[in-house]
Amino acid sequence: MTFNYKTPHTTSKPERQVVVSYLKSLRDRIITDFESLEPHGKKFERKPWDYTKGKSGGGEISVIRGDTFEKAAVNWSGVEGDKFPGQDAEGSFFATGVSLITHMQNPKAPTVHFNIRYLETETKFWWGGGFDLTPMGFENDRDTSHFHSTAEKALAPFGEGLYETYKKAAAEYFYIPHRQKERGVGGIFFDHVNTGDASRDFSMWKSVGDHFLESIMPIYRERIGMPFNDADKETQYLYRGHYAEFNLAYDRGTRFGFNSGGNPEAILCSMPPLAKW
């Protein structure tokens, strides 16, 4: 895998179609790799939707329920509206991104979340995203080390200390105040990135996207065949409850989706298929 780190400095907005094309290609790569883990050839079901509450756009929900993935969703969206649905910008906007969540049949295999997004308004544009790992009661130091070292490798060409900065941001963002704990074992998180060098920021953003599968696939190949029992599933269900609490009470992406008039089915794909309290 190679990345173009030496593109000319530019402050111009990227072409939307270039960004969208990359996101859809990444979405397809992730789906293909996830499907390779299904022993009986189960495939993602894809469902397009139209953005009826804005100027134009829509997205595609891709969901699988199989023998490896109890439920996983890999969604793409690209929408344009008249009023930015938040406090950090105003006026018309364009937003596009890929977001995914996995809920595994085997409790020993952790949940993983990934998102990269691009947003622009009439006066500014920025990048956001990251990925984080949430064991469902069964932490593994080797998994955590591999996950974080891959994230660090993705960010290394773009500045000393960037990984530490985004790791700290993830720890702060994915914190569940009423549980007084982080949602999982962390990862990286960034938002409102615009350094003034659009080509550098775009390359960094793509590097995060291109390293995601490397961060999780070795973990899944090792964990999905591990033995487990009914007590392990009960533990998994309880930790899934904590995951749902964060997504419904604190996650900014959930709020942005609802406030922008997005597709509720796509927004709520992050919810686990079964959870307990």
Catalytic residues: 113
H/E stretch holding 265: helix 264-267
3-state secondary structure 18-78: HHHHHHHHHHHHHHHHHHCCCCCCCCCEEEEEECCCCCEEEEEEEEECCCCEEEEEEEEEE
DSSP letter (8 states) at residue 110: P
Concatenate the DSSP letters of all residues of 164-218 into one string.
HHHHHHHHHHTEETTTTEESSSEEEEEEEE--S-HHHHHHHHHHHHHHHHHHHHH
List, in order, residues 6 or more apart from 116 with CB less than 8 Å away.
23, 26, 97, 98, 127, 128, 129, 130, 205, 208, 209
